[in-house]
Amino acid sequence: MAVTEIHEVGAERADEVLAMIHRAFADRPALDPPATAMSETAASVSAALASDGGLLAFHDGEPIGTLLFQDRGRLLGVRRFGVVPDARGHGLAGLLAYRAALVAAGRGKVGLSLEARAELPATVRFWQQNGYVEVGRDGPRLDLLRLLPVQVALPTPSDTRSVGRRLGAVLAAGDLLILTGDLGAGKTTFTQGLGEGLGVRGPITSPTFVIARVHPSLADGPALVHVDAYRLGDSAELDDLDLDTDLDEAVTVVEWGSGLAEALSSERLELTLERAADDVRTLTITPVGLRWLAADLSAVASG
């Protein structure tokens, strides 16, 4: 049976990494300004690996893909990402991207960043499918960012409410939260805590029968717009609620919004509540967009 392995490597594998870079980038189309991957040398690759490391992928013992890491403070940069032509189309690129995220988490980073080229739309789509979003552009060069999810165990409803309260305290007008979870997972309890953290007028209950409910601030903060998208068929029906008029002035929480509400904002929090057999809930917070780079969501999760 064919075996694919991916290893973290340092300068001792510079020759193999260099060979993979040259093989992977040799058939790329000419770009303007030109890509610089083919200018890499054993010395430049060795220095990069000695500083920040990289990944080398093998299939049945043969190297077939690679990438270099670059420390960027709270982020782990990814560069020279490539798979040799004969190995493309078999999921290896996705495995490399997944392993890069594991390395970033292991190094205590909050996310990953990389540069892509607008002239290579298939490559841009690949990174988007792997959770990256565009956060900057310099001509044809696109800056892409993926922030890592944060998980927190919630043994009791009180814990669910408390983490909602802590998150509410750091939210601002214009923030969008997409909240997903099975019936009984604690979505309403979480949103009640969120409202407490925001300081809005209650009571906060499920908006199922009205689809959307607005809770004004009791102070000078943003209102909370609480939406239940369960009975909405598509994003067009969500648009019919005229939520865009509130997004800049309120914090908007869309329950059952996965697959529907993402178009409302390119910067959002995607929240998933799961309930285990022992009744312990797990909340996964996935930040999307540059807005959340400076936010300390791990502190929200840990209290």
CATH number of the CATH domain containing 92: 3.40.630.30
Q: Are residues 137 and 16 in the same domain?
A: yes
Separation between Cα atoms, residue 169 and residue 201, nearest integer Å: 15
Total number of domains constituting the chain: 2
Q: Are residues 42 and 119 in the same domain?
A: yes
Q: Are residues 186 and 111 in the same domain?
A: no
pLDDT tens, N- to C-terminus, the chain (303 residues): 456 899 999 999 999 999 999 999 998 888 888 889 999 999 999 999 999 999 999 988 899 999 999 999 999 999 999 999 988 888 999 999 999 999 999 999 999 999 999 999 999 999 999 999 999 999 999 999 999 999 999 999 999 999 999 999 999 999 999 999 888 889 999 999 999 999 999 889 876 665 778 899 998 899 999 988 766 655 555 555 565 556 788 999 998 778 877 888 889 999 999 998 888 899 999 999 999 998 888 888 887
Write down the pLDDT at residue 117: 95
Burial of residue 11, with CB atoms counted within 10 A of its CB: 0-12 exposed, 13-18 middle, 19 or more buried: middle
Residue ending a domain, among 147, 179, 198, is: 147
Q: Are residues 154 and 295 in the same domain?
A: yes
Which residue in the block uniquely carries the two structure tokens 């220095």? 47
Handedness of CA 74, 80, 86, 88 (dihedral sign): positive
Write down the pLDDT at residue 213: 84
Q: Are residues 226 and 274 in the same domain?
A: yes
Residue ending a domain, among 120, 147, 174, is: 147
Quote the domain boundaries for residue 67: 4-147
CATH of the domain at 162: 3.40.50.300
Write down the pLDDT at residue 302: 80
Q: Are residues 172 and 116 in the same domain?
A: no
Which residue in the block uniquely carries the two structure tokens 């791990």? 298
Write down the pLDDT at residue 55: 98
Separation between Cα atoms, residue 148 and residue 270, nearest integer Å: 11
Separation between Cα atoms, residue 135 and residue 128, nearest integer Å: 12
Q: Are 138 and 149 in contact (CB under 8 A)?
A: no
